[in-house]
Chains A and B, each alone.
Chain A
């Protein structure tokens, strides 16, 4: 009963968001929103590893690439060869797209497992360097597969993704990750973050917990990759370079390690900021965007080193405001 009610509210929200975004906004703003949505999924899922489990991963774009290429290969190379009449219909194509997204997610999750098992034995800086390396290996690997375009990139991807799909998944994945971190297995992630030795003294295999969190995060990144591929309709390995991984990390750190709503806010802020600053460039004639972007990061990190929301969710601030008349005191 409760699930049916939730499903109803969920669908209503997705339809409302998708409808208003795609009808009241121009193509330019729609694209920015779509990228915001994809970045939200990436930031929120990376937060599971970097924020909640306390393992510093720097290769998230690599897992996104796996999901993007696997799903795009399915819809671009496999779908046209299928002759089932059902797949010609609108519903059929969309169902196939959902299947391709999930396949991409699972492929990314598997890659996450293969990368995670050997590398999650390392800690801190060492883990960061190893994941960075694996992210690059994945990119170079894709660069050398001719059938999916190699360095030229994959062209002719059907544009199946839209704002309904993207914000449907944004909502779903945020709810799912929130449910994971509120459950007891989610508390185990945080136990590993706070003290690994004590966690294993509690009878828990820390490696297993870390790999689990890594696989979940990779799966969601793979979904984000699939949504991205079918929105832009073109894939190039260069997109998924170290720079993109780093941007996602910046969103997580800026929003607050261990705050889902913080990641959402930071993803919107950082994606939107660069676009919002475009008029300034027309005005001054100099590209000040990156300067302001960098300054924003520096100022925010100096004033709030624990991130915008720290380890709190946005609703916790309201609760504390209500409780104490002086306002929220940390």
Chain B
């Protein structure tokens, strides 16, 4: 079964076709990249997949279930897709541990009364949930920072915590929106290992948007290229690197460049 299957997906904002006729898939336990120049519609595609926007055409299936008509939180709960955001969206005034605890709503087996009267059952249950969250932090060696406030973490750790928080929902497919943005080479390398580690440990499919070509070429098994809302190429990293359409989308056409140049220099 495919972790993600998108067919002829499209969305239109007024007259603007931000994404049109996109079909792609991610297999279970596969690392797939999504690249494209600025404004190509990559994040819009993510927002369509995670239910923030409703598509005008086409369909998205995750874990064999169609996401049509589901809101964002239902997609996380029922289709097991989790995401991170381009500009970090942590719960910045909560501690590292609490950031992970927020998603443990499925494990809560006590009601309001047991909270108000501080029953033994509530205490045990809360303790158990906290221990499980600590274990998850330990896997990603963030346990030593469990009590720190999220906004005080160094940048790299904030990115990492966002991935850990997404993993706490126990997803079957993970969407990473520019995880390496703003990172230096050393941090990018650590992130590369982290993403690989997540895939190996949890055996899940991962779809990554990224601008850092070195990062994406080194990480992904398959890459899709998006330009002006449409897929222009698909293939292994080395295929993408030598693909004419991709080079054109990134660097522009030779003739136009010459035309612009001659125009600038006058007659």
Instruction: List residues of chain A with CB under 8 Å of any chain B CB.
Output: 2-3, 6, 176, 179-180, 183-185, 187-188, 190-191, 193-195, 197-206, 258, 311
CB-nearest residue of chain A to B91? A194
- Is residue B92 contacting chain A, with contact meaning CB distance below 8 A? yes
User: Closest CB of chain B to A306's CB: distance in Å?
Assistant: 11
Q: How many residues does chain B have at the interface if contact means C-beta atoms less than 8 Å apart?
A: 38
Some 13 contacts from A to B, beta carbons below 8 A apart, are: A3-B119, A183-B126, A184-B105, A185-B108, A187-B101, A190-B98, A194-B91, A195-B89, A197-B89, A198-B91, A200-B72, A201-B73, A202-B169
Chain B residues within 8 Å of A199, by CB = 91, 102
CB-nearest residue of chain B to A216? B112
Chain A residues within 8 Å of B91, by CB = 190-191, 194-195, 198-199
Contacting pair A203 B118 (CB below 8 A)? no
Contacting pair B76 A185 (CB below 8 A)? no
How many angstroms between the C-alpha atoms of A183 and B108 in the bound complex? 10
Residue of A185, A190, A201 with most chain B CB atoms under a 10 A cut-off? A201
Contacting pair B101 A184 (CB below 8 A)? yes
CB-nearest residue of chain A to B162? A198
Contacting pair B102 A201 (CB below 8 A)? no
- Is residue B23 contacting chain A, with contact meaning CB distance below 8 A? no
Chain B residues within 8 Å of A258, by CB = 93
Within 8 A of A (CB), among B153-173: 165-166, 168-169
- Is residue B260 contacting chain A, with contact meaning CB distance below 8 A? no
Could you say which of B77-85, B199-207, B223-231, B242-250 contacts chain A?
A: B77-85
Chain B residues within 8 Å of A183, by CB = 115, 122, 126
Closest 7 CB pairs of A and B: A203-B76, A194-B91, A202-B103, A198-B89, A200-B72, A203-B77, A200-B73
- Given contacts A184-B108, A195-B89, A198-B85, A3 and B118 within 8 Å (CB-CB): yes
Contacting pair B82 A194 (CB below 8 A)? no
Within 8 A of A (CB), among B98-155: 98, 101-106, 108, 115-120, 122, 126, 129
Chain A residues within 8 Å of B105, by CB = 184-185, 188, 203-204
Contacting pair B82 A201 (CB below 8 A)? yes
Chain B residues within 8 Å of A6, by CB = 118
CB-nearest residue of chain A to B110? A183
Chain B residues within 8 Å of A187, by CB = 94, 98, 101-102
Contacting pair A194 B92 (CB below 8 A)? yes
Residue of A190, A199, A203 with most chain B CB atoms under a 10 A cut-off? A203
CB-nearest residue of chain A to B51? A200
- Given contacts A179-B118, A202-B103, A203-B105, A311 and B73 within 8 Å (CB-CB): no
CB-nearest residue of chain B to A206? B73
User: Closest CB of chain B to A49's CB: distance in Å?
Assistant: 16
- Is residue B50 contacting chain A, with contact meaning CB distance below 8 A? yes
Contacting pair A201 B72 (CB below 8 A)? yes
How many angstroms between the C-alpha atoms of A262 and B213 in the bound complex? 51
How many angstroms between the C-alpha atoms of A4 and B122 in the bound complex? 16
Partner of B76, one of A2, A201, A311: A201
How many angstroms between the C-alpha atoms of A6 and B74 in the bound complex? 40
Partner of B93, one of A184, A185, A198, A311: A311
Contacting pair A188 B102 (CB below 8 A)? yes
- Is residue B68 contacting chain A, with contact meaning CB distance below 8 A? no
CB-nearest residue of chain A to B111? A185
- Is residue B12 contacting chain A, with contact meaning CB distance below 8 A? no
How many angstroms between the C-alpha atoms of A200 and B76 in the bound complex? 8
Partner of A200, one of B71, B98, B129: B71
Chain A residues within 8 Å of B52, by CB = 197
Chain A residues within 8 Å of B90, by CB = 194-195, 198
Chain B residues within 8 Å of A194, by CB = 90-94
- Given contacts A201-B50, A203-B103, A203-B169, A176 and B89 within 8 Å (CB-CB): no
Chain A residues within 8 Å of B83, by CB = 201
Partner of B94, one of A179, A190, A200, A201: A190
User: Closest CB of chain A to B41's CB: distance in Å?
Assistant: 19
Chain B residues within 8 Å of A191, by CB = 91, 94, 102
Contacting pair B71 A202 (CB below 8 A)? no
Contacting pair B73 A203 (CB below 8 A)? yes
Partner of A204, one of B85, B93, B103: B103
User: Closest CB of chain B to A172's CB: distance in Å?
Assistant: 9
Contacting pair A180 B73 (CB below 8 A)? no
Contacting pair B102 A205 (CB below 8 A)? no
Encode contact with A along B14-32: 1 for CB under 8 Å, 0 otherwise: 0000000000000000000
How many angstroms between the C-alpha atoms of A2 and B168 in the bound complex? 33
Contacting pair A179 B126 (CB below 8 A)? no
CB-nearest residue of chain A to B108? A184
Contacting pair B117 A180 (CB below 8 A)? no
Beyond the given A183-B115, A197-B85, A202-B102, please list 10 additional residue pairs across the A-B interface where CB-CB is below 8 A.
A3-B119, A183-B122, A187-B102, A190-B93, A198-B90, A200-B72, A201-B72, A203-B77, A203-B105, A311-B93
